[in-house]
Copies of this chain bind each other. A is one copy, B any other.
């Protein structure tokens, strides 16, 4: 944490594992994170919430976080589903959706008749044997299967333990159909670029804070951002020996990250 910290003008915050731990009960805020978001906003730094969560529409997602006390609005959130909708429209793709029930509304305006691609998100309880077989059959029936994945996370932490994320199911379909998914969301470069553009801050003056060594830290660094890994959420000590990715710094939690960054300004 050195000279570059003084140049920071904008922050991208991962949400699950940084702001709160998700769970069947809606989840709980991580100690100090509500206040940390308030302090970022008071500092005048630009702020963008960058999430791969696809278990709810952004509207519901934001309401849940507001209910925990976070100062957050829908316009401040960059999420995979709207990005996927842009791609579907541009390429006249009609998706078969394998997503969480609460995400379906994000695709309300998309033609889904006679599907010519599969969109997979973190479908959670919807990842049934029958639903996965159905998505597989749609894909294998195409001459050139198109699979769009809302993220490629391996797993995430809920209050009752670790859960498989969309990336694991994406790999299952990729293997079964011998196809490579197009990933929308972190760590896709276009996703970070959208967030930076929405914030109006160049990569060199932005910092990403996340709990995922690959999708948050590695993804952001490949776009020219600095990136911190918090030791909350899905963080595991072995992340610090990752063969390919090294964060610009580790912090115990978001509150500590904000302390350090605001001290440099």
Which chain A residues have a beta carbon within 8 Å of chain B's beta carbons? Answer: 124-129, 132-133, 136-137, 140, 154-155, 161-165, 167-169, 171-178
In the complex, the 5 A-B pairs of residues with the closest C-beta atoms, listed nearest first: A168-B172, A171-B175, A168-B176, A172-B172, A127-B129
CA distance A132 to B167 in the complex (A): 14
Q: Is the interface of A mostly helix, strand, loop or mixed?
A: helix
Given A124-B129, A129-B125, decide whether A175 and B154 contact each other with a Cβ distance below 8 A.
yes
Which B residues are in CB contact (< 8 Å) with A155?
A: 136, 140, 176
Number of copies: 2
Is the beta-carbon distance between A167 and B175 smaller than 8 angstroms?
A: yes
Give Cα distance in the complex from A161 to B140, angstroms: 11
Give 9 A-B contacts (CB < 8 Å), ordered by A residue.
A126-B129, A132-B168, A133-B162, A136-B164, A140-B162, A154-B175, A155-B176, A164-B176, A171-B171
Tell whether A162 pairs with B136 under 8 Å between CB atoms, given A125-B129, A128-B128, A128-B129. yes
Q: Whose C-beta in chain B lies nearest to the C-beta of A136?
A: B164
- What are the residues of chain B within 8 A of A136 when measuring CB–CB? 155, 162, 164, 168
Contact A174 B171 (CB under 8 A): yes
- Tell me the bound Cα distance from A171 to B170 in angstroms: 9
Taking CB atoms, residues of chain B closer than 8 Å to A137 are: 161-162
Compute how far the CA of A88 lies from the CA of B140 in the bound complex, rounded to whole angstroms. Answer: 35
- On chain B, the residues within 8 Å of A178 by CB distance are 154
Chain B residues contacting A164 (CB-CB under 8 Å) are 132-133, 136, 172, 176
Q: In the complex, what's the smallest C-beta–C-beta distance from A217 to chain B, in angstroms?
A: 16
